[in-house]
Structure 1
Amino acid sequence: MAESTQTPQVHPRLLELFLVGLGAVPGALIRWQAAGLYFGGDNNVTVNVIGAFVLGFIVGRKLEARWQLLIGTGFCGSLTTFSSWMVDCITLIGDGRWPQALGLIGITLGLGLGFGALGLLLGRWLKPPEPPQWHS
């Protein structure tokens, strides 16, 4: 009986799951370590702004789907923290500190949009040029 020389096929969804998990581990570890640091401000803002920049960059580079899963969904998904940011805002509101809550919302949205746009522009700028198209 002859042995099969075919390479075993990996189910595409299993590969996607692996890529998301592989990216999530370093993102979660960085997030965990950032929670113990103090940069003179709110670390939730810091990780969310970094995540916005990285996501903008990968969108600007137009990376293929596998890289988007690894970096975007996996890494940035575990690094950034929308829910913790909301809890911070709700806590400030509950304590009657409306100006600080509105400031936190404004700063996070402003910096997030700004750094997301900066990442997008940098990703587009660093994108390798398209190969020339031959016209007949």
Structure 2
Amino acid sequence: MASILGALLRWKLGNDFLANIFGASLIGLLSGLEFRSNIQIFLGIGFCGALTTYSGWMVDVWDLMRNGFFLKAFALLSVTLIVGFLAFAIAFWIGRKTKQSFFP
């Protein structure tokens, strides 16, 4: 069920970059909150797994390279990795701070 919702949101967004960054943020938040239950599996693996799209990202990079836009392809790879990691890290930090506020 969660994977269906994640895939529908990715389709509705229509932008692989936004979907990947949102998914990285959500999985960072879940990791920071340290859910150890079916909720983390449901949201982390199901929803985020279907929301984020490695294959779509690679198709976009490949299309840029195939059309001779090597710098844009490299930029898409680099920016997605860097922004995705930062989104994960910030959301993880927020999750940790939130957890500590409620469970000191």
Unaligned runs of 5+ in 1: 1-21, 36-42, 131-136
Q: What secondary structure sits across from 2:2 in the alignment?
A: helix
Structure 1 residue 106 displacement after superposition:
1.1
Task: Give the paired residue count.
Answer: 102
Structure with greater helix percent: 2
Which structure has the bigger radius of gyration? 1
**Is 1:25 the counterpart of 2:18 in the alignment?**
no
Distance in 2 (alpha carbons) for counterparts of 1:111 and 1:94: 24
Alignment partner of 1:96 out of 56, 68, 72: 68
Cα displacement (A) at 1:25: 2.1
Query: Partners of 2:67 and 2:37 in 1: how far apart?
Result: 43
Matches within 5 A, 1:1-136: 22-35=1-14, 43-127=15-99, 128-130=102-104
What is the RMSD computed on CA atoms of the aligned residues? 1.0
Alignment TM-score, normalising by the size of structure 1:
0.72
TM-score (norm 2): 0.93
Q: What SS does the aligned partner of 1:124 have?
A: helix
Identity between Structure 1 and Structure 2 (%): 35
Gaps of at least 5 residues in structure 2 are none
